[in-house]
Amino acid sequence: MARDSCCRAVSHVGALILLFVVTIPLYAQPARENVDGRAEVFAGSELERYLRVLQLGGVARPYPWTIRPFGAAELDRILPADTAGHPWQGRYTLGAEAGERWVIWVSPRAVSVFNSAFPYGGNDGPIWAGRGATAALQAGLSMRYGPLTLTLAPLVFLASNTEFELTPNGETDRYVFADWRARHRAIDLPQRFGEGAYGRIDPGQSSLRIDLGGLAAGVASANEFWGPAIEQPILLGNNAPGFLHAFAGTAMPWNVRIGRVHARALWGRLEQSEYAFAHPGQEVRFTSGLIATFSPRGVPGLEIGGARFFHLSWPAHGLGANELLKPFEGLLKDGQVARVPDPERPGESLLAPDNQLASIFLRWSFPKSGFEVYGEYGKEDHNFDRRDLILNFDQNGGYLVGFQKLWKPSDSAWTVLRAEVLNLQVGHVDRARAQSPFYQHSYFRQGHTHRGQILGAPAGYGGAGAVLALDRYSATGRWTLAWRRALLGDEGDYWKSGIAGTQDLDVQHALGADWLGFRGRWDLHAGAALVYEQNRGHGGDSALNLNVTLGARFGL
């Protein structure tokens, strides 16, 4: 009965949002009104992506784009001048003066997502869209006083989580909802979050930050987005909920004569869902990471860098120097022999419980030609010593490549063609040395996740992904046409045997359209995608899903 009530509540909220979106154009003023957007340039958000396009068009100022989110003082250095011409110039107030004081609303936003056959969606932070209707609401406030910036942007969502056929994983009780792919007890990635409605109240894109003397520090629950990717980051993005963390680093790129250096370190807390297996004491993990970029002098638009991200058990004795300095330790394990008992094999031992993901990357933008290219190479776990690195550099490794090309025939009409290819599949090196799927760890059974969602690219869990999209920006909004492919997993042993099975690969293709329109102070959003999944769950059957998204934002 309670479940039915929750499902009806989600359906009613979704219907209200649908009615809301459909009727607003009838009553809203036809003229567009200028609204403030400075407080909503969140990592991976609509406005952040738009600013990247402005930088590509030579309107936004040059700035490294591989460490996000940006602080208010950083945005002062990026945002275009009020006189610069661009499609949304008459829509959003984006210009700002350094050191100004403000109190700005994080504009109320409502979103409704519908999936007809199976869960589908991503890069939406805390939201998990199961089968059926999912509704979400977000609002908040941002305050800036000199070097201090406080943003409160909580989000609440509720998914009806309607029943669908699960892929068997051999488990019972609550673990029947766990992932079905190889060694599913090694990643916290539920197929479904239980039998009933699923929802959360999340702090969302909230943060407290101080920028002082070239340094920045703070605490946040906002998503971190590391690396040059737009949709498929290898290490960190906005697919999962942001995790509670403290951070410190440079407030802006530092001039070191031969170029500029920008860096950030963080320390945080990762949690698991109710459907993940974990060794005792590992239900909560401690995480730390470091990212740095370098922009060489005399090479405009080029940024190169690297990042590392650790998973550790939360120390029972409390956080100490060993945990806090973890991101700054040597790049190699140097043959360390510290070991702990293996909880699954009595009498056996494992290396000291930590897991590192690392990547190197570059981005090179050419604003005069409206073009940028970028790439990233990532590794799961780090090598023992120099010999191991040289011999097995490609073990548990994968790559991302992408580009954007901008055409702007006028200030009010810009078109962007963009593409990304991600490949984190197990490779042929598996014939010589065993590999696990990317994002899957041996000792930490949650994998590279937070509350049941991948911290990086969803397709990266032992798989691959591709995006090809065309974006059209105008004074009235944006529309996008996109094709996306996701290889969700490889069940076979082709890499060792050379024999491909007919049901080894589980692949999704999605063809969709997305529209954002400005009506008075309202931003109206509608999107639809047809998702075809071949060999779903490695069972040989195919499935077709209709994904529909409707949303509205009221600019204050």
> In this structure, are residues 27 and 524 in contact, taking their beta carbons and an 8 Å threshold?
no
Domain range holding 170?
A: 2-554
Give yes or no for residue 16 having a pLDDT over 50.
Answer: no
Distance CA 543, CA 224 (A): 33
Length of the chain measured in residues: 556
> In this structure, are residues 487 and 466 in contact, taking their beta carbons and an 8 Å threshold?
no
Give yes or no for residue 98 having a pLDDT over 50.
Answer: no
Q: Where are the beta strands (DSSP E) in 185-330?
A: 198-202, 207-212, 215-220, 225-226, 245-250, 254-255, 259-271, 284-296, 302-313
Across the range 77-91, mean pLDDT stands at 83
Kindly state the tokens that stand for 343.
């909880």
With a pLDDT cut of 90, the percent of the chain lying above it is 62
The total of other beta-carbon atoms located within 10 Å of residue 190's CB is 27
Q: What is the pLDDT of residue 344?
A: 60
Taking the model in full, what pTM does it have? 0.90
Unique residue bearing structure tokens 């396009």: 53
Kindly state the tokens that stand for 487.
């290889």
Q: What is the number of structural domains in the chain? A: 1
User: pLDDT per residue over 342-398, tens digit each?
Assistant: 556 666 655 557 889 999 999 999 999 999 999 999 998 777 677 767 767 777 789
Q: What is the pLDDT of residue 32?
A: 57
Count H helices and E strands in the chain, helices first: 6, 29
Unique residue bearing structure tokens 């031969």: 258
Distance CA 414, CA 471 (A): 8
**Contacts (Cβ under 8 Å, ≥6 apart) of 172:** none
Kindly state the tokens that stand for 211.
């920028």
Unique residue bearing structure tokens 């703070």: 218
Residue type, 75: L
Distance CA 450, CA 239 (A): 10
Q: Tell me, what DSSP letter sits at residue 393?
A: T
User: pLDDT per residue over 21-36, tens digit each?
Assistant: 444 444 444 445 788 8
> In this structure, are residues 554 and 108 in contact, taking their beta carbons and an 8 Å threshold?
yes
Given CA atoms 211, 295, 471, 86 in this order, what sign does their dihedral have? positive
User: pLDDT per residue over 300-350, tens digit each?
Assistant: 999 999 999 999 988 878 888 888 998 998 877 764 544 555 556 666 655
Given CA atoms 358, 360, 366, 370 in this order, what sign does their dihedral have? negative
Q: Give me the torsion for CA of 438, 444, 448, 453, rounded to 10°.
A: 120
CATH number at residue 165: 2.40.160.130
Residue type, 260: R
Distance CA 15, CA 20 (A): 8
Nearest to 94 by CA among 147, 148, 41, 149: 41
Measured at the CA of 522, the angle between CA 517 and CA 528, to 5 degrees, comes to: 40
Across the range 427-438, mean pLDDT stands at 68
Across the range 112-126, mean pLDDT stands at 96
Q: Give me the torsion for CA of 532, 535, 537, 542, rounded to 10°.
A: 50
Q: Which residues pair with 413 in a beta bridge?
A: 410, 474
Nearest to 264 by CA among 233, 232, 236: 236
Least confident of 89-103, 127-141, 444-458, 480-494: 89-103
Higher local confidence (pLDDT), 139 or 318: 139
Residue type, 424: L
Helix (H) / strand (E) containing 64: none
